[in-house]
């Protein structure tokens, strides 16, 4: 194995390192302030104060009210709560609109609704992965309950026109949910037209297993978890105090660093695109500009993505792929299929996702290693590229 110090982690869309500041903020809540936030005594009151303080801090990053923030175990739960919770609270409306490029944490709750007799429209996207707001308008019906469109895509980085989509939903009186897991802390979010918004802490240098759902005041949801009535009855379960405190610290860190980190990540992305495009038989998946700053996705003709990831791993570089061979059902990722990457190219996809700890030297090292690895795999492939 390669020494940890030599590792280059370019898989920040999968998860991130917990920032040292965040760890420090969480530390007291494991064995000093360990009370149950519902308890009457001092231990409990201290925990409650920490939880409510975190709620206020998170609300502030979005410019919303603390009562509109509900803590969950992550974005999978937040998405499920938004979609299934809204459906259960509004049984008369039986139609949901979403897109073909959502995360499975949105697609699968929608698919489950279909098993319950709901109608779900999965909107197409263009070659860059963008949803047409007019297609959303056209799909809305009298019985449409919800439109769910992600703010930025986790595989190819494409930013969706959610401000426009949200406006259309509001004009038509339809609720609008957005999965902002990858976009939060990276791009501005139009909260004025968003009814429900999901975030996960571990994608922003916070801990795993904690997230939140923003629920615009006045929107009724039915809980998924019934129990002690925590989170004002919407999400029972003793509050994960260290996790919640860590998420708030991570959110504040992301917001305070945004002006410094985001331009740097954009530069890295521009450089990755410029350099990788020079290699023969490569194609950018996603939009060159209308993209989250930290996600870059390329396809390499003639080679398969899983072996590319494994070869890079030998060099201590962590990346990921949407290739068929890396998926349990041996199909290329639904996002690459939705943007109609030809199957031969979809097999050779590579996702490079940077983060606050990524350095220019690491990008340079990656860009030096990549052509060797690509050439090496092409040399043993029957498909010759660039000859």
Ligand X SMILES: Cc1ncc(COP(=O)(O)O)c(C=O)c1O
Asked if 194 and 184 touch (Cβ cutoff 8 Å), the reply is no
Is the Cβ of residue 57 or residue 182 nearer to ligand X in the bound state?
A: 182
Q: Which of 46, 155, 231, 304 binds another protein (CB under 8 A)?
A: 304
Is the Cβ of residue 190 or residue 280 nearer to another protein in the bound state?
A: 280
Q: Which does 303 bind (CB under 5 to 8 A by kind): ligand X, another protein, none?
A: another protein
| Min dist. Cβ of residue 344 to another protein (A) | 5
| Min dist. Cβ of residue 337 to another protein (A) | 9
Task: Give the x/- contact pattern for another protein in 116-155, rule: CB under 8 A.
Answer: -----------x----------------------------
Q: Is 110 a catalytic residue?
A: no
Asked if 224 and 81 touch (Cβ cutoff 8 Å), the reply is yes
- Calpha distance 26→245 (Å, rounded): 6
| Site for ligand X contains 121 (CB under 6 A) | no
Is the Cβ of residue 237 or residue 316 nearer to another protein in the bound state?
A: 316
Nearest to 209 by CA among 49, 26, 4: 26
Q: Which of 12, 16, 148, 182 binds ligand X (CB under 6 A)?
A: 182
Question: Left (φ > 0), alpha (ψ -120 to 50) or beta: where does 260 sit?
Answer: alpha
Whose tokens are 């700890």? That residue is 357
Residue 188: which residues within 8 A CB-CB, separation 6 or more? none
Please spell the DSSP secondary structure of 179-218, one letter per residue.
E-TTTTTTS---GGG-SEEEEEGGGTTS-SS-EEEEE-TT
Dig out the tokens for 94 from the structure.
């039986």
| Site for ligand X contains 211 (CB under 6 A) | yes
| Active-site hit among 2, 32, 127, 325 | 325
Which span sits near ligand X by CB under 6 A: 175-183, 218-226, 240-248, 294-302? 175-183
Q: Among residue numbers 334 through 353, which ones bind another protein (CB under 8 A)?
A: 340, 342-344, 347
SS3 3: coil
Asked if 317 and 323 touch (Cβ cutoff 8 Å), the reply is no
Which span sits near another protein by CB under 8 A: 111-119, 219-227, 234-242, 376-384? 376-384
- Calpha distance 297→320 (Å, rounded): 9
Q: Which of 121, 182, 282, 307 binds another protein (CB under 8 A)?
A: 307
In the complex, which residues of this chain contact ligand X (CB under 6 A)? Answer: 74-76, 103, 105, 150, 154, 179, 181-182, 200, 211
């Amino acid at each position: 194995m390669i020494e940890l110090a030599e590792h280059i982690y370019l898989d920040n869309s999968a998860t991130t390192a917990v920032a040292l500041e965040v760890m420090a903020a969480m530390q007291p809540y494991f064995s000093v302030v360990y009370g149950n936030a519902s308890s009457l005594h001092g231990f409990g009151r201290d925990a409650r104060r920490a939880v409510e303080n975190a709620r206020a801090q998170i609300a502030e990053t979005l410019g919303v009210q603390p009562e509109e923030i509900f803590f969950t175990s992550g974005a999978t739960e937040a998405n499920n709560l938004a979609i299934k919770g809204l459906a259960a609270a509004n049984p008369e409306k039986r139609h949901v609109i979403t897109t073909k490029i959502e995360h499975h944490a949105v697609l699968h709750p929608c698919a489950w609704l279909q098993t319950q007799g709901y109608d779900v429209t999965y909107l197409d996207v263009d070659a860059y992965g963008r949803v047409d707001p007019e297609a959303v308008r056209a799909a809305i019906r009298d019985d449409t309950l919800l439109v769910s469109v992600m703010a930025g895509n986790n595989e190819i980085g494409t930013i969706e026109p959610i401000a426009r989509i949200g406006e259309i939903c509001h004009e038509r009186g339809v609720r609008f949910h957005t999965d902002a897991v990858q976009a939060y802390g990276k791009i501005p979010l139009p909260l004025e037209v968003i009814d429900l918004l999901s975030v996960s802490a571990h994608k922003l240098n916070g801990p795993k297993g904690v997230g939140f759902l923003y629920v615009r005041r006045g929107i009724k949801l039915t809980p998924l978890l019934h129990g002690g009535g925590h989170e004002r009855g919407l999400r029972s379960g003793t509050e994960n105090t260290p996790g919640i405190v860590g998420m708030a610290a991570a959110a504040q860190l992301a917001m305070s660093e945004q002006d410094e980190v985001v331009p740097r990540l954009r530069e890295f992305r521009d450089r990755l695109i410029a350099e990788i495009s020079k290699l023969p038989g490569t194609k950018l998946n996603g939009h060159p500009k209308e993209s989250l700053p930290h996600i870059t996705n390329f396809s390499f003709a003639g080679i398969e993505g899983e072996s590319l990831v494994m070869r890079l791993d030998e060099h201590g570089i962590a990346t990921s792929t949407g290739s068929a061979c890396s998926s349990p059902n041996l199909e290329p990722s639904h996002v690459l299929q939705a943007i109609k990457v030809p199957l031969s190219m979809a097999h050779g996809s590579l996702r490079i996702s940077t983060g606050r700890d990524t350095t220019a030297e690491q990008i340079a090292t990656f860009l030096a290693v990549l052509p060797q690895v690509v050439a090496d795999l092409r040399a043993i492939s029957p498909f010759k590229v660039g000859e």
